[in-house]
Amino acid sequence: MTIKTAGQWLRRASERIAGISDTPGLDAEVLLRAVCMLDRTALAIAPEAPLKMEQLERLENLLVRRAQGEPVAYLLEEKEFWSLTLWVTRDALIPRPETELLVECALDRIEDTTAVQVLDLGTGSGAIALALARERPAAQITATDVSLRALEVARANARAHGLQNVDFRAGHWLNAVPGQCYSLIACNPPYVAYDDPHLQTWHTKYEPQLALISGKDGMEALQQIIPAAPRALVPGGWLVLEHGHQQEPAVDHLLHQARFDSIIHYRDASGKSRVSAARVSESFAE
Ligand code: GLN
């Protein structure tokens, strides 16, 4: 059958990606609306609107990539996070909804005053840093990444959203900000074990492995960051971390070893342990 209308394309496209996507109908609709610049209502009103040849070509091209497993966020180079539409490329992890929990936990601990300095370690597309910058306009946010290409994406996102209270530094974890002290450090490090079967799923295959994988048990980055963090925090400052849902005991142990107190673990919307927050003691001294 020759495809002529939006409705015909939608039906055919969702069948074609049914094996690869958990949400084939939605994916097809999102692609169609982006290419044809249609909102939901327009599509609902006129499902049999004819497609132009160039729209059809672009749609077929995106559909082939989607059928191979490429995530919709990379196809459209765009992902919503914390009410911000972010530019995403394959140089950065696609921001996950569960990371909004990390943003909430950090915001609970950041006052909106000019004295507050906040660090986002391994910012990727800038999701965490930009959400914090948006919600706390008086605070000064520093975002780091070891990947210069990820930093370019994050910088472009800050510019696109007109956020001027964020600056960017290149480097490996805290080496990016030598001698600096912060009221709060937020970090969503890589925490997946290199042989985790989850890495065989379609979406993670397209993401930078550097942002996902952290050694044999997924703990390598956390083992570097947690012991080093107290030196980069003001007395009473907070470290807020995302981690895997089975890593809570190991993270808790590392936080105790590094002499953090007030250690709190949080669960995400699906009930999985996902974020830990820990305060460096008021009397912490080297
Ligand atoms: N939660 C992500 C996943 O499931 C991993 C993100 C990360 O390593 N920071 O793939």
pLDDT digits (tens, 9 = 90+) for 50-64: 889 999 999 999 999
Whether residue 13 is found in the same domain as residue 119 = no
Distance CA 170, CA 176 (A): 6
CA of 80 to the centre of ligand 1 (A): 17
> What phi and psi values does residue 69 have, to the nearest 5 degrees?
115, -5
In a 10 Å sphere around its CB, with 0-12 CB exposed, 13-18 middle and 19+ buried, how is residue 151 labelled? buried
CA of 273 to the centre of ligand 1 (A): 13
Whether residue 141 is found in the same domain as residue 169 = yes
C-alpha distances in angstroms, 77 versus 40, 88, 94, 124, 176? 20, 5, 10, 14, 27
Average pLDDT of the chain is 93
Whether residue 51 is found in the same domain as residue 98 = no
The answer to whether residue 285 sits within a structural domain is no
233 vs 269, higher pLDDT: 233
The answer to whether residue 162 sits within a structural domain is yes
Nearest CA to ligand 1 atom 5: 212
> What phi and psi values does residue 93 have, to the nearest 5 degrees?
-60, 145
CB 166 within 8 A of CB 191: no
pTM of the model: 0.93
pLDDT beyond 70 at 285? no
To the nearest 5 percent, what fractions of the chain are helix, strand and coil?
40, 20, 35
pLDDT digits (tens, 9 = 90+) for 171-222: 999 999 999 999 999 999 999 999 998 888 777 889 999 999 999 999 999 9
Cβ of 6 less than 6 Å from ligand 1? no
Cβ of 190 less than 6 Å from ligand 1? yes
pLDDT attached to residue 95: 97
Whether residue 104 is found in the same domain as residue 165 = yes
Cβ of 212 less than 6 Å from ligand 1? yes
Ligand 1 atom closest to residue 190's alpha carbon, by position in its atom list = 8
pLDDT beyond 80 at 46? no
Q: Which of 69, 89, 111 is the last residue of a domain?
A: 69
What total of structural domains would you count in the chain?
Answer: 2
CA of 212 to the centre of ligand 1 (A): 6
Whole-angstrom distance between the N-terminal and C-terminal Cα of the chain? 73
Whether residue 249 is found in the same domain as residue 195 = yes
Please spell the DSSP secondary structure of 146-186, one letter per residue.
Answer: S-HHHHHHHHHHHHHTT--SEEEEESSGGGGSTT--EEEEE
Residue 37's pLDDT band (cuts 50, 70, 90): confident
Domain around 130: 78-280
Q: Which of 50, 69, 88 is the last residue of a domain?
A: 69
Q: What is the mean pLDDT of residues 63-76?
A: 95
Whether residue 41 is found in the same domain as residue 133 = no
Closest CA to 35 of 89, 72, 70: 72
Cβ of 74 less than 6 Å from ligand 1? no
CATH of the domain at 62: 1.10.8.10
Q: Which of 36, 69, 102 is the last residue of a domain?
A: 69
Whether residue 98 is found in the same domain as residue 239 = yes
255 vs 115, higher pLDDT: 255
